[in-house]
Amino acid sequence: MIFTRRTFIATGLAAGLTSRAFAHQTAEDWVMPEEFLPRPVRFSEPQAPGAVIVDPDYFALYLALTADEGIQYSVGVGRGNLYESGVFNVGAKKEWPSWTPTDEMIERDPDHYAKWADGMPGGPENPLGARALYLFDDAGNDTFLRIHGTPEPWTIGSAVSNGCVRLANEHITELYDQVELGAPVLLLPKVESV
């Protein structure tokens, strides 16, 4: 696999993405800004077809369809130091997944997460949204990192999650159907100087 930071993206395709804060809304009345819609991209360096690359500084996820072409999706990423970079693979895929906060999440915010310590069933209000890709390490262990949907699509383009990468439910549903089990996933490190 060939992964580099920004050299694989055609110049300027992701430059228009910025973090936005939206007033309290519901998914039903919120309209996705045009710049956050999926778009085709050309890579300046060959990529492994089927690979998923996340650039947290541009809130962008790239799916390599061929060595030279792919699709860019807008995402939300982990806030502060909760975002974890690295090389992973898709170890599991689930539709309308259940969710259980990690012990660390409960410790950070017990008022919000403790009530779900035994889990929350899948559904429209579940934080993992409509679909989830489970990221595993090279040894086959679940890292508890996910690429998933969200019932709060207005958080796309911002760093607000507990470490996972989130897409609008309609976009994770599209991505889910295109990503194979075992697909390589690269979560690029934050540069934070863009």
Among 24, 112, 148, 171, the active-site one is 148
CA distance 175 to 194: 26
Active site residue 24: no
Active site residue 171: no
CA distance 17 to 57: 9
Identify the CA nearest to 88 among candidates 147, 142, 140, 136.
Answer: 136
Which residue's structure tokens are 């890709």? Answer: 133
Cβ-based neighbours of 154, under 8 Å, separated by 6 or more? 20, 22, 25, 30
Amino acid code (one letter) for 122: G
Among 24, 112, 164, 171, the active-site one is 164
By annotation, the residues acting in catalysis are: 148, 164
